[in-house]
Structure 1
Amino acid sequence: MSNMKRWLKARGIPYSSLAAMLGQTTANVSNKINGITPWQQKDLLKINEEYGLSADFVINLPQTAQEMGVLKKALDCSPEPVCAITK
């Protein structure tokens, strides 16, 4: 589950409210929250201004040392970048 999905759920904020704040459709915001469509810089700036959330949090960059290690292992894997995931 994405950081944004967890955060919105924990606060009872519907996607439609976030969409209205961003001036976008609920479907578009849902796609961003679910990783189908990438977040845009203007989205990240508005979310930071409104809620104080960092871009790293919104786009799901690893937060813990363990997550960083898993990401590093996946990126170091060659020739396929997804080989650590499939092993």
Structure 2
Amino acid sequence: MVNGRRWRRTDPSLPAGMVERLKSHLGRGRSGVGTAKRRGDDSAVAASRKRVGLAKHGLGERGPRWWEESEAARLERARQALEELDGLDGAAPEGA
């Protein structure tokens, strides 16, 4: 809670390796937003923001409230986000 407002945090039930991969995508997305803004490349800004949004959904920081979902649903949400994020890179999904 900050000033009476609840702030989202990463879902604590997610495996550490999965969180690490999602946070890597989140960091790359945030970095990409800044780089694309400096270049004035609106399409790259949008693509980078998509990566940020997917990573945050996977981590449980956006979307449905993870504390109201079953652990299986939360894990599936994170897996789907990673699959889509890895697809953005053309990478084969790794086990997590």
TM over 0.5: no
What is the TM-score with the length of structure 1 in the denominator?
0.30
Rg (Cα) greater in structure: 1
Q: Tell which has more relative contact order, 1 or 2 (C-alpha 8 A, sep 6+).
A: 2
